[in-house]
Structure 1
Amino acid sequence: MATIRPFKALRPRRDIAHQVAALPYDVYNREEALEEVRKEPLSFLQIDRAETQFPEDFNPYDPQVYQKASELLQKMITEGIFVREEKACYYIYELTMDGRAQTGLVGCAAIDDYLNDVIKKHEKTREDKELDRINHVDVCNAQTGPIFLAYRSQAVINEVIERVKKEPPLYDFTAPDGIKHRAWVITEEHDLGKIETGFAAIQSIYIADGHHRTASAVKVGLKRRAENADYTGEGEFNFFLSVLFPHDQLMILDYNRVVKDLNGLGKEQFLTEITKSFMLEELGDTPYKPNAKATFGLYLEGTWYKLTAREEIRSADPVEGLDVSLLQNHLLKPILQIIDVRTDKRIDFVGGIRGLKELEKRANSDMKCAFSLYPTSIHELFAVSDAGLLMPPKSTWFEPKLRSGLFIHELE
């Protein structure tokens, strides 16, 4: 059973929420983050990326950076930019992109559910990336970026959400990137009880996006437990900020690949090697976006090809059967000698939201060829997680991105 609790959110005033809400800290490089903060002085990015308040050569992981983030948060609270909810609530968060909406529930998940594998993972985390957010959460005494969780749709929870969504929203704005954001607050005791009971009947919840933020939140919670030997398990540091989406609301986009060279092979030799594991169809200059599993697009020297995995390389295994695995294990690794995609500088990754034109652009400039993939499905993500396995790197790309700064979870 899963524990998802209401909480007293720290949140921006209704009239300025659109100025405060910011994309996640890790979608920007340092220059882009600085430009965003200069463009919008109220942007929450100034807290999530407080190195923007220091000279450009200043170490972004210096303790002063995290202290500055805490000071900025307290300043915005003092100035009335943020308000604190008087009672514990759940919130509804709807994001609409290109006319398609998805609606999640904002609440706090339990670190014990993460430790006991009720909350399931499908990616490894890196200690250096965890440490940054551990310091940020600990010094700010707050979780500022929500974790993107998924669960199998549940009728009781759906009923409450759909009913409350008929009321006037708490927030309603369209961000500069065209994504529409709406939020509602759930305050009625019977609704809070229904939601808590609904999640208690759910056996597994899945991290869709935010493995590093989750691991960081858990480690801060464990640190505070060690510092408070008489903890009861009820303190806020035992829980972490989440937005939970039912599986049938989610859309996973393709996560495509671009490669710098052909590993010394000529074009024809490369294509011949591919045909050992894939059927090959030349498409000319017509871009190919795969519309079924086990099919891939290849763009090389101005020409598109459709690749279809031969039956003998397909697999029923939750990981080996993923399209990203088929491409890696039967083309990138054996032909192009790309062994570890985490460290090999010859490969890069392009989120599906950037489109096939971006693949052509990269292959015609700094790269040699590009591969378009069919998106990993939410059911595949569940299957891998349920089996206790890990997905290959860069298997999923979720859009739209949750905004930071709309809901903040204080740890005390």
Structure 2
Amino acid sequence: MSKIIPFKAVRPTRDKVSLVAARSYQSYTKEQLESRLRDNPFSFLQIVNPGYRFDKDISGEARYSLVKNRYLEFKEDGIFKQDETPCYYVYRIVDREQQEFNGIVAATSALDYETDVIKKHEDTIAYREIIFKDYLKTVGFNAEPVLLTYPDNAVIDSLIKKIQKERAEFEFTTTYRDTHYLWKVDNPKIIEAIQKEFENIPTIYIADGHHRSASSYLLYKDLMDANPDHQGDEPYNFFMSYLIPESDLQIHAFNRLVKDLNGLSKEEFLIQLDTFYRIENRGSMPYQPSKKHHFSMYLDGDFYSLYLRKTIYQIETSLDGLDSQILYKTILNPILGIEDLRNDQRITYINGKKDLVNIKSSVDSGESKVGFVMLPVCVEEMKQIAEDGLTMPPKSTYIEPKLRSGVTIYEF
């Protein structure tokens, strides 16, 4: 049973929301960040990068305190206002390719995370969890929802469609040409219907935001232990999420680039590959794999197809059958000597939405030696990994939608 509840969001005013909304801080280049901080005083980036005002890089607790100060200033200046009653927020994104994402922004139970009602499919790094937990504890708010997915549900779908017939509270288009819509749901009967329907869903899945979920859970544990009057309904018992049906989720592959062949010549490398794969040279034209356990490789000016020899590689678990795991177990680790996929500087990742030309260019320029392309993970694979209590290799999925920070804010 999933506990998904309404909350009192802090939101930008309608006339400012398009200026406030920002992508994830890490997604901007240095030049883009400088431009937005210089030209847009309302951007949420002004809050999360408070050192810009002092022309100084600030980190740690000093930065966290300044982030809180900038946030309070946005509230004092009337840029942000808090809703008076708990609400759900129906959120729709239509991207530049006309893909639609429809879901509900709500508060999700940290206890559900603890008891595995909310299931995970990725490992997290402990020190990153703690850093973000400390950040949340100091600033007192979270501005970027965790992306969760649930099995398609006809009742929730009909409620969302009914709400979307009304005028949206927010409607704005980004410079990426994605259009965002938000409807505030404050009707008690509709709130009750949504909440009860989610209670009938036994399991929901983290699609994107494993570190944010883990940090929010650590914050819940800290604040619960520090509160002798803990009741279980305090805001810190929950974290903000954007819940969308599985059919709306878009999963792309993360392709791999490796800087060298681990001391092997091209011929020696191909000979070692032959142990696990039937190899065909496809020439210089970009070549995409056509099915699972089938990879495209770009090496020394040519694309190759790699067909897994199933008599050699044994699939015993759901993780064994994942293409990113197969690539690691048959090539990246045993042949190229890469053990730590998260930290090894010899490997880089390119999300599968980008053209194969990006891989070709990296290899042709000498920046990388070889590139690998695979098909994306499907929703059922992701769910099975989570159900089995296993975790995918890092950068196994590039998941959409990507949300904007600062549109809805959850205070602890």
Partner SS for 1:83: strand
Aligned ranges for residues 95-106 of structure 1 at < 5 Å? Answer: 95-97=93-95, 98-106=97-105
* 1:151 corresponds to: 150
Deviation per residue, 1:271-319 (Å, 9 max, x gap): 2221221121221121122232111111111111111212222525211
Which amino acid in the other structure matches residue 164 of structure 1?
I
Deviation per residue, 1:152-201 (Å, 9 max, x gap): 11121111011111221111111111222111121211111111111101
Aligned ranges for residues 7-156 of structure 1 at < 5 Å? Answer: 7-28=7-28, 33-56=33-56, 58-61=57-60, 63-97=61-95, 98-156=97-155
Shift of 1:96: 1.9
In 1, Cα distance between the equivalents of 2:240 and 2:209? 11
Kept in 2, the 8 Å contact 1:143–1:217? The answer is: no
In 2, Cα distance between the equivalents of 1:290 and 1:15? 46
TM-score, normalised to structure 2, is 0.95
* 1:262 corresponds to: 261
* 1:320 corresponds to: 320
Deviation per residue, 1:60-90 (Å, 9 max, x gap): 22x1211111111111111111121111111
Deviation per residue, 1:69-126 (Å, 9 max, x gap): 1111111111111121111111111122211111121000011001111111112222
Aligned ranges for residues 189-338 of structure 1 at < 5 Å? Answer: 189-312=188-311, 313=313, 315=315, 317-338=317-338
Kept in 1, the 8 Å contact 2:298–2:370? The answer is: yes
Deviation per residue, 1:219-266 (Å, 9 max, x gap): 112211122111110111110000011111111011010000111222
In 2, Cα distance between the equivalents of 1:76 and 1:192? 29
Kept in 2, the 8 Å contact 1:258–1:347? The answer is: yes
Query: Cα distance 1:380–1:300, how it changes in 2: closer, same or farther (>3 A)?
Result: same
Kept in 2, the 8 Å contact 1:69–1:136? The answer is: no
* 2:380 corresponds to: 379
Which amino acid in the other structure matches residue 262 of structure 2?
N
Shift of 1:32: 5.1
Partner SS for 1:102: strand
Of residues 193-202 and 261-270 in structure 1, the stretch that sits farther from structure 2 once superposed is 261-270
Matched, 1:360 2:357: no
Aligned alpha-carbon RMSD (Å): 1.6
Kept in 2, the 8 Å contact 1:33–1:49? The answer is: no
Partner SS for 1:160: helix
Partner SS for 2:257: strand
Kept in 2, the 8 Å contact 1:254–1:397? The answer is: yes
In 2, Cα distance between the equivalents of 1:190 and 1:371? 52
Partner SS for 1:248: helix
In 2, Cα distance between the equivalents of 1:159 and 1:253? 28
Partner SS for 1:80: coil
* 1:400 corresponds to: 401
Gaps of 5+ in 2: none
In 2, Cα distance between the equivalents of 1:129 and 1:38? 29
In 1, Cα distance between the equivalents of 2:31 and 2:330? 38
TM-score, normalised to structure 1, is 0.95
Kept in 1, the 8 Å contact 2:148–2:243? The answer is: yes
Which amino acid in the other structure matches residue 387 of structure 1?
D
Which amino acid in the other structure matches residue 364 of structure 2?
N
Query: Cα distance 1:391–1:99, how it changes in 2: closer, same or farther (>3 A)?
Result: same
In 2, Cα distance between the equivalents of 1:322 and 1:355? 22
In 2, Cα distance between the equivalents of 1:51 and 1:393? 31
Query: Cα distance 1:308–1:327, how it changes in 2: closer, same or farther (>3 A)?
Result: same
Which amino acid in the other structure matches residue 339 of structure 1?
E
Kept in 1, the 8 Å contact 2:156–2:197? The answer is: yes
Which amino acid in the other structure matches residue 273 of structure 2?
I
Partner SS for 2:406: coil
In 1, Cα distance between the equivalents of 2:218 and 2:378? 30
In 1, Cα distance between the equivalents of 2:17 and 2:299? 45
Which amino acid in the other structure matches residue 351 of structure 1?
N
Gaps of 5+ in 1: none
Kept in 2, the 8 Å contact 1:148–1:242? The answer is: yes
In 1, Cα distance between the equivalents of 2:124 and 2:39? 32
Of residues 168-177 and 2-11 in structure 1, the stretch that sits farther from structure 2 once superposed is 168-177
Which amino acid in the other structure matches residue 249 of structure 1?
D
Matched, 1:6 2:6: yes
Shift of 1:17: 0.7
Q: Give the count of matched residue pairs.
A: 409
Kept in 1, the 8 Å contact 2:249–2:401? The answer is: no
Kept in 2, the 8 Å contact 1:351–1:397? The answer is: yes
In 1, Cα distance between the equivalents of 2:327 and 2:53? 43
